[in-house]
Structure 1
Amino acid sequence: MPASATKSLRVAVLADSDTRWKWGALTARRLTPAAAEVRLDGYLLRGRATPTARQLQEVGVRADSLSELTGVEFLHAMSQEPYDVLVLALVGGGVQAMLHGLRDAWGTGPRPVVVTGYVGVVYEKLADGLLLRHGADLVLANSRHDADRFRAVYEGVGADASSVTEVALPFLGGAPYSGEHEPYTVVFAAQPSVPDNRRDRTYLLDRLIRHARRHPEREVLLKLRSKPGEHTTHIEELPYQKLVQGKDVPDNFRLVYGHMGEVLDRTDLLVTVSSTAALEALHRRVPTVVLTDLGVREALGNHHFTGSGCLASWDQLDAGHRPAPDEEWVARQGVATDGSYETAFDAARERIATLLDRAGGLPPLTPYYTPETAPGYLPGILARHHLGPDGAPLPGAPTADKAPGPVRQIVRRAARGAYRHG
């Protein structure tokens, strides 16, 4: 590999939620060579989903520094700090705004390699989300299936598709499933916004409780993403913690939090509507079910799993059915059960090393969306992040508070304390 692959590297990650911080930080680790000395600086975009100290600790990724700031503050920091690699772990509109803001901040001067991608399964707004991410040096695709789709979208609008780089989800891993535990454990992986209404969420909760009552010899766990009051990538309007209040639940049913990988260590059957946890489970060959009770619909995201062999209903599960995953489908989804996962990021690492060694440095960022190509769309996206049509901060854009707020104080303590030092 080029000489730059083994030098000291400075890497920054900007994230806007706990799940995107997890994806961004783990991706940054996998994108850097094992032999390199890496400094990882984390930046949390201030907003409704800024992660709490508990959420950061649950993710369990170390950073050398961690700070919370506004988008304009971040752009200022990037104009002052020399980095080799920057990972934008944001929603699509945030990525697009930062690309334009960074283009303005860096001008024609030296800049890092800019990387972005998706936290998990891409089952909606494919074209919209992809074009909002266009302009990064690497747009990561978590599977061969996604890489093919991403290139088709870019080429279809006449945009450069060379940035699309196939990798895998960075948080797959753990010991392969080796057989039933004592007690046999069923885990339902909840999602904050799927389904999105009280009736359907109550139905799923009642079916899970019914399964626990029907199988008293089993342990039945409801795996939750966040506690009431906390936000994650999506707002949870109807948390299961509130829906379960007042219900008569059996002793073998309980709610759990924590790292998904640790929960999977003791799981015999993973059940979900469409959570990325299904891919984590399939990677470890844990028996996995994607529910059809509420239909197989784009709004639920479970349509992504057609062809997987994992679709089933609670009635079938109660009767003892265990789906067998389709190996070809699993392979195309980046779930490397054949042991090839360790090499999944090799191409991305090589591409980054090549860009870092580019003579004369990197050219300015060139997103597909510009004031010329999307004059009725782009200005609104930039304005939401207090940027003008040229990517420059608007007058009066919010900056640092004179006194740090509660969330900022929590993040500072987390950075100094248990989070940073593991």
Structure 2
Amino acid sequence: MTVPARVLAVADSDSYLKWTAGLLDHLPPHWPRRLAVVRSPITPSPEQIRSALNGTDADVPDIVPARGVLHLIRRFRPDVVVLGCTGPVVNVLSRMIPAADRPVLVSGLPGISVPASERAWVFRSAVDLFVVHSRREVAEFTAIARDLGLPGRVGLTRLPFLAPAAPAGPRDRVVFATQAKVPAGPEERERILLSLAALAERRPDLRVVVKMRALAQEQQTHRERHHYQTLWQRMAGQGRVRPGALTFDAGPMRGHLAHAAGFVTVSSTAALEAIAAGVPLLVLSDFGVTAEMINLVFEDSGCLGTLDDLAEARFRDPDPAWCAANYFHEPADEDWLGHLTGLVETARAGRLPQPVYLHHQIGRLAAPRARLRLEVHPDTLRRIRTLRRTVRRR
């Protein structure tokens, strides 16, 4: 491509912002780019934004309403718009962008996407390029697109944050990466905290860190009903654990891994960051290894273990063959930039296909509610929810 492509990227939550900023770093350096955050109830806090951008070249983005995204498109005139957002937000924004002389639309998922979800494609049915991160994901999402009759392509790249963390001193901590969705129940989460506390008591030479995506009062991509820090405070108040046994932190994962002697999670994509950083790890199997637990991909990885293994600091090294098949492919396998370049040339020739908008079966009011969450200020939405709860109680 002789003329550089102009790229506007839009994110909505902390995890999508981290992914989107990293994806921009993989673009050719001479391509102009702009990053923004669309305002919604899950807009990351200033601290979450700093953490998400850590290790990337991105500047702190502006936070704009949904109509502000259209204003940026008119002003910046991008060749490419990356919708690095949750599915309902991609669906709303893609419908707001005029189909005539439109830019190339790109989207993707910020972490592990096995097994592939039809719903993820349905929300993103208008995009021209769906970016994923393993050969297995490419095959599965390509098959779904074919079954749905979508013209969009599926492109492969490595997860943008899988760069080795440079050692920054002694490896003297164990990092537990939380996941908002699983395990869902407070009892299961308390079992994890008890095993972490047992490890802390047995190994006073190790600092045991609970690495959270957000503090209890902050928003994140998925709602967390039973926050680990809140549960820990309650357990400490009941005398079940020593209050200072664990450290709770929401800072950048890269910094923690640079000091980590071990890593543990139930299903967080941060497990891949630990592998990239050469940190032995455990993916807990006590609650099941299933699609619902978002850890099915770790079968045969050599990393599965139990809470008893955690308490005894028995961490594992992953199987090299599994790594090659899952997220650690050779750079030569990556084709998303080739797809993107071809799509930009197609767009400049006026030959992009008309976007396809599929209807998602998640309730009659789902689409208007998603639009409302982008159009109305989050403070107003919170007041509306409070009023509705008050009316119900009365």
Partner of 1:17: 13
Partner of 1:360: 349
Mapped contact 2:12–2:42 kept (Cα < 8 A): yes
Partner of 2:82: 87
Partner of 1:394: none
Distance 2:328 2:218 in 1: 30
Give the AA of the match of 2:100.
Answer: T
2:132 aligned to which of 130, 134, 141? 141
Question: Deviation of residue 354 (structure 1)?
Answer: 2.4
Name the SS of the counterpart of 1:268 in structure 2: strand
Mapped contact 1:58–1:258 kept (Cα < 8 A): yes
Partner of 1:196: 184
Residues 314-333 of structure 1: matches in 2 within 5 Å? 314-319=307-312, 321-333=314-326
* Compared CA separation, residues 242 and 38, structure 1 to 2 (3 A): same
Deviations 1:197-250 (A, max 9, x none): 211111111110011112222221111211121011111222222112152437
* Compared CA separation, residues 375 and 357, structure 1 to 2 (3 A): closer
Identity level (%): 30
* Compared CA separation, residues 84 and 141, structure 1 to 2 (3 A): same
2:147 aligned to which of 153, 156, 160? 156
Please report the TM-score for the alignment, with normalisation by the length of structure 2: 0.84
Mapped contact 1:15–1:45 kept (Cα < 8 A): yes
Distance 2:223 2:13 in 1: 11
Question: Deviation of residue 175 (structure 1)?
Answer: 4.0
Distance 1:12 1:183 in 2: 39
Say yes or no: does 1:38 pair with 2:37. Answer: no
Question: Deviation of residue 146 (structure 1)?
Answer: 0.5
Distance 1:80 1:183 in 2: 48
Name the SS of the counterpart of 1:286 in structure 2: coil
1:307 aligned to which of 300, 303, 310? 300
Distance 2:144 2:374 in 1: 35
Partner of 1:3: 2
Give the AA of the match of 1:245.
Answer: Q
| Structure 2: tracts of 5 or more residues without a match | 381-394
Give the AA of the match of 2:160.
Answer: P
Name the SS of the counterpart of 2:146 in structure 1: helix
2:105 aligned to which of 114, 122, 126? 114
Higher relative contact order (CA 8 A, sep 6+): 1
Distance 1:119 1:154 in 2: 19
Deviations 1:103-139 (A, max 9, x none): xx2x322x32211000101146711112222221210
Give the AA of the match of 2:258.
Answer: D
Name the SS of the counterpart of 1:3 in structure 2: coil
Please report the TM-score for the alignment, with normalisation by the length of structure 1: 0.79
Distance 1:294 1:233 in 2: 22
* Compared CA separation, residues 175 and 14, structure 1 to 2 (3 A): closer
Name the SS of the counterpart of 1:279 in structure 2: helix
* Compared CA separation, residues 344 and 224, structure 1 to 2 (3 A): farther
Question: Deviation of residue 183 (structure 1)?
Answer: 5.7
Task: State the Cα RMSD in Å.
Answer: 3.0
* Compared CA separation, residues 77 and 143, structure 1 to 2 (3 A): same
Give the AA of the match of 1:3.
Answer: T
Mapped contact 1:167–1:348 kept (Cα < 8 A): yes
Distance 1:62 1:324 in 2: 31
Partner of 2:73: 78
